[in-house]
Chains A and B, each alone.
Chain A
Amino acid sequence: MTTTAARRSATIAAPRPKGDAGTHQGVVVEPHLDPALTSRPDVRPTSRRLGPGKRRRFAGVVGPAALILLWVVASATGLLDPRILSEPWTVVSTAGELIADGRLQENLAISAQRAGLGLFFGIVVGAVLAVLSGLSRVGESLIDGPVQIKRAIPGLALIPLLILWFGIDETMKVLTITLGVFVPIYLQTHAGLRGIDLRYVELAQSLGLSRAGFLRRVVLPGALPGFFLGLRFAVTGAWVSLVVVEQINSTSGIGYMMELARTYGQTNIIVLGLAVYGVLGLLSDAAVRLLERKALSWQRTLAG
């Protein structure tokens, strides 16, 4: 008899038609093959969900889109004075003009090259130092202290010295970015590496792994989550250092373009530069996260 159960769950799903139960008598129906299943009530106790739930598509775009919408509305209603912050459409048309005469691409290319080179060298230096310092006591006592000191010195404070040593050309700019990038890579990779469970080290010993094999199969994969965390800091840090070196002394790059615009009071170009930095930062962070998800697919975490 389905009457009481159906009445109780009437708000959740439509009750099955009368007499339906009789037609199935004595027939074993596979649950997933039964077409009536979708119309059956689904009553179940549910526990409080504590994780963030299933991953949704385009979830990362919602926040930035809301910010842009706020900007559009504030400009359109006159709440935002264009002399303080240009309207979004002015920035878009400025972008169109700068792309048409080639200035934006040109400056973007040179900026990207600087950031890319600095990032590359910073990753290599940070990762190598982290492994050396993480795997040997001698390495740790030689490397860890100086890196912590470097960490305490702001990147900006080193620029005068770097200019004296290397002049104001590309070497100085890339080096400044490298110095900013290697620190988070080192710190997080080192922490990840030191966090590897001692039981895996014991396992590697009992299996007679060589030093190289231990490094390749246990240490590096085990330190990878830490490395990726460091990489996300590093990528953002590379763009930040880039702004600094391009605005202090430079004749090209997005930072230079913005600095020039400041001299002429062109808010629209300044805002465009900011928008470009923002987009670059967002895109590079998304790229790192995608890479991370692919490389760490063995992990089972809240991120899902």
Chain B
Amino acid sequence: MATNAGGLGPSSEVSVRNLIRSFGPKGVLNGVDLDIAPGEFVALLGPSGCGKSTLLRALAGLDHDVRGSGVVKVPEQVSVVFQDSRLLPWDTVLGNVTLGLRDHDADARGRRALAEVGLSGREKAWPHELSGGEQQRVALARSLVREPKLLLADEPFGALDALTRLKMHALLKDLVAAHRPAVLLVTHDVDEAITLADRVIVLQDGRVALERKAGSAVDHSSLRGELLEALGVHAAA
């Protein structure tokens, strides 16, 4: 695991050095360093406005008009899952999944990806005919059909109800285990971060404030308390 933030070794899939981004006079990211190893699942926590989404958008290359500096190295194959499923309403479910695929077997791959997220048979449906959870599963299929080396997810389950969210956690875990991309999950849900990630990072005032290993070897309740403390929630554990 590339927890040594200083090393720029070939082992890291993502490497970010001294990343600075600002909207107007206010700095949003004030020198962020981040490494993600191949296949590693990193969760990014932080209060609203701490720069989580700005960091993710910088990695996705979606911040053309934002001023800043620093070095960002990401693999060629990057997929993004947004908080809204962001399906084109005028395209069918399958059309949305294969959007931008140029190979001749795109349809077959799209169908396989839909089967993987449990949506076989809904290929011809319009997005508005699906439930919120189903729409987000289509968005997952769309990002994984590209076989990304890096999956960026910006609060992908934030708009879902609690039960659907738990099902989506299990699905995402299975999908990540099958495809092995490096993952950066932006979330405000501490439990989501602990259950899913190998490593949790807390971002505060545009800097990495805390970095902890998660996963099965770690005591979840003490990690949860520590993360909540770092996020400024002083609740009894």
Contact = CB atoms under 8 A, between A and B. Distances in A.
A209 B100 CA distance: 5
A205 B95 CA distance: 17
B88 A221 contact: yes
A207 B81 CA distance: 11
Most buried by B among A205, A206, A218, A300: A206
Interface stretch (A27-35, A115-123, A195-203, A242-250): A195-203
Given A217-B99, A298-B128, A300-B128, A206 B62 contact: yes
B43 interface: no
Contacts, number: 49
Given A298-B126, A300-B128, A199 B99 contact: no
B91 A221 contact: yes
B90 A221 contact: yes
A200 B86 contact: yes
Contact of B86 (A203, A297, A300): A203
Contacts of B82: 199, 203
Interface in B96-135: 99-100, 126-128
A213 interface: yes
Most buried by A among B82, B100, B142: B100
Contacts of B78: 206
A209 B128 CA distance: 23
Contacts of A202: 62
A52 interface: no
Given A199-B84, A203-B82, A298-B126, A209 B99 contact: yes
A206 B80 contact: yes
B60 interface: yes
Contact of B90 (A199, A203, A213, A298): A298
A224 interface: yes
B49 interface: no
A298 B80 CA distance: 25
Most buried by A among B78, B84, B86, B128: B86
B99 A205 contact: no
Chain B residues touching A, range:
20 to 34
B90 A224 contact: yes
B89 interface: yes
Interface in B36-68: 60-62
Interface string A287-304: 000000000111110000
A224 B90 CA distance: 10
Contacts of A296: 90
B100 A208 contact: yes
Contacts of A213: 100
- The secondary structure that dominates the A interface is helix
A206 B77 CA distance: 10
A217 to B, nearest CB: 6
Nearest to A197: B86
B88 A200 contact: yes
A296 B89 CA distance: 10
B62 A217 contact: no
B86 A204 contact: no
A50 to B, nearest CB: 20
A217 B126 CA distance: 15
Given A203-B82, A205-B62, A206-B60, A298 B89 contact: yes
Nearest to B80: A206
Interface in A110-136: none
Contacts of B128: 298, 300
A215 to B, nearest CB: 13
Nearest to B77: A208
Most buried by B among A200, A203, A204, A207: A203
A203 B78 CA distance: 12
Nearest to A224: B90
Nearest to B60: A206
A222 interface: yes
A297 to B, nearest CB: 8
Nearest to A202: B62
B100 A199 contact: no
B82 to A, nearest CB: 7
A297 B92 CA distance: 11
Q: Which 6 A-B pairs have the closest CB atoms?
A: A207-B100, A221-B90, A206-B80, A209-B100, A298-B90, A298-B126
15 contacts: A199-B86, A200-B86, A202-B62, A203-B88, A206-B60, A206-B80, A209-B99, A217-B99, A221-B88, A221-B90, A222-B88, A298-B89, A298-B90, A298-B91, A300-B128
Given A204-B99, A208-B100, A297-B126, 20 more contacts: A199-B86, A200-B86, A200-B88, A202-B62, A203-B82, A205-B61, A205-B62, A206-B61, A206-B62, A206-B78, A206-B80, A207-B100, A207-B142, A217-B88, A218-B88, A221-B91, A298-B126, A298-B127, A298-B128, A300-B128
